[in-house]
Amino acid sequence: MQMQPSRFPDNLPAISLNKVALTLSSAAGPVNILHDISLTVSAGETVALTGPSGSGKSSLLMVAAGLERPSGGRVTVAGTDITGMGEDAAARFRRGRVGIVFQSFHLIPTMTALENVAVPLELMGVKNAWDRAALELKAVGLGERGEHYPGQLSGGEQQRVALARAMAPRPQILFADEPTGNLDSANGEAIADLLFALNAERNATLFLVTHEESLARRCARVVRLESGHIVADERVRPMIPA
C-alpha cells in the first residue's frame, strides 16, 4: 500500500483560507478565536504568523493543517478543500503532504528517535521507511542517536527529531508552531537554521507561527494576527520562486 501524494499544480496556492472563523465552546460560553480570516500562501513561500499570546496564531495553524475544523469559511490546502473533511480523511490527507513541528516536540515517548521518524513513512506505506528515517536523522545531525528514547535526549535534540519526522515524507507544506519556543537561544538558533535550510533544500512551503520577531524576519512574508484578526500582511523579502 504505497501512497505517494501527487504534487499539486504550481499555479495553485499552497494554502488558501477564505473567510475562516473558529469558535470554541468553553464552560464560560463560546469563545471566538478567529474572525473572517482570508489568507493565501503560494507554493514555496515562507510565511511567518506573528502576534501576541492568545491572538489565535496556533489555532490558525491548526485549522490550516487540518487538525481543527473551522466554524465557518473555507480551507484549501495543496489544491484540496479540507474544510468539511472528517478526522480520518484529514489524517490521510496529511500523509506526505503536510509536516508539522510543535513547540512541545510531541514525540512518542515509548519509541526510539529512529522509530519516531519512521512512523509517518510507515503510515504512507514507504518500503524503505527505516533507511529513509535514518537518513533524515543524519540530516538533522542525530545519525548516532537513533536508538535513544525521547527521554534520553535534550530539548534541542528532541526538536531535531521532530523536525526530521516532519520532513521525512518530503511534505509540500511544513507547519511549525513556535519551534524554538521551548529551547534556549543557541539551540533555538540552530533549530531555526536547520528548519530554513531543509525547507530551502526541499523547496517546501513554510508556515511558521512565532512570536520572535527575528525568526519571523527570516521568512519572505510576515502576517500579524491580533484578537483573531489579520492586522498586517507584509512582504519583507522577495519571494523565491518555487
Partner 1 sequence: MTEIALAWKMARRELRGGLKGFRIFFLCLLLGTAAIAAVESLSDAFLNGLRDSGQVLLGGDVAVNLVHRPATPQERAFFGRYGKVAETTSMRAMAYALRDGRETERELVELKSVDDHWPLFGRPIFSPAASVADAIHCEDDGICGAAAEQTLLDRLHVKRGDLVKVGDATFRIIAALDKEPDRISAGFSLGPHLLISSHGLPATGLVQPGSLIDYSYRIAFRPGVTIAGFKADAARAFPDAGWQIHDRNDAAPGIRRFVEQVSMFLTLVGLTVLGVGGVGASEAVAAFLDRKRYDIAILKSLGADGPLVFLIFFLQVMAIAVGALILGASLGATAPFLLAHFYGSVLPLPPELGIYPGPLLLAAGFGLLSAIAFSVPPLGRAREIPSASLLRETVAPARARPRMGYIVAASLSGLGIAGLMLGLAPSPLYAGEFLGGAIILLVLLRLVAEGLTRALRKLPRPRSPLARLAVGDLTRPGAATQGVITALGLGLTLLATVILIDRTMGQEVDDSLPSRAPSFFFVDIQPDEVQAFDHTIQSFKTAEDYKRTPMIRGRITSLNGVPSAQAKVASEVKWALSGDRGITYASTPPKGTVITNGKWWPATYDGPTLISLDQEVAKGTGLKIGDPMTLNVLGREIDGRIANLRKVDFSTGGQNFVLVLSPGLIDKAPHSFLATVKISGPDENRMYMAVTDKFPNISTVRVKDAIAQVDTLLQQLAQGIRIASLVTILAGLLVLAGTIAAGARTRLYDATVLKVVGATRFQIALVYVLEYGLLGLATGIIALFAGTLAARVIAGQILEAPFVFDARAILWTVLGGGAATLLFGLLGAIAALNARPANRLRNA
Instruction: Point out which residues bind partner 1 (CB under 8 A).
Output: 58-59, 62, 67-69, 87-88, 91-92, 94-96, 100, 102, 104, 106-112, 115, 118-120, 122-124, 130, 149-152, 165
CB of residue 94 to partner 1, shortest distance in Å: 5
Residue with Cβ nearer partner 1 (152 or 214): 152
If the CB atoms of residues 1 and 186 are measured against partner 1, the closer one turns out to be 1
Residue with cell 501527487: 6
Of the pair 108, 242, the CB lying nearest partner 1 is at 108
Alpha helices in the chain, H assignment, sequence order: 57-64, 87-94, 113-124, 129-139, 155-167, 185-202, 213-216
Rounded to whole angstroms, the Cα distance separating 75 from 93 reads 13
* Shortest distance in whole angstroms from residue 218 CB to partner 1: 24
> Is 42:15 a contact under the CB 8 Å cutoff?
no
Closest to partner 1 by CB, 79 vs 189, is 79
DSSP result, 45-85: -EEEEE-STTSSHHHHHHHHTTSS--SEEEEEETTEE-TT-
CB of 46 to partner 1, least distance (A): 21
Nearer to partner 1 among residue 13 and residue 96 (C-beta): 96
Which is nearest to 63 in space by CA: 48, 46, 84, 79?
A: 84
Chain center to CA of 177: 7
Give the shortest CB-11-to-partner 1 separation in angstroms. Answer: 26
For residue 239, the minimal CB distance to partner 1 (Å) is 28
CB of 164 to partner 1, least distance (A): 12
Measured from the CB atom, the residue of 148 and 202 that comes closer to partner 1 is 148
Q: Which amino acid is at 121?
A: L
For the stretch 84-92, contacts whose Cβ atoms lie closer than 8 Å and that sit 24 or more positions apart, written own/partner, are 90/66
Instruction: Give the integer Cα–Cα distance in Å for 17 and 36.
Output: 9
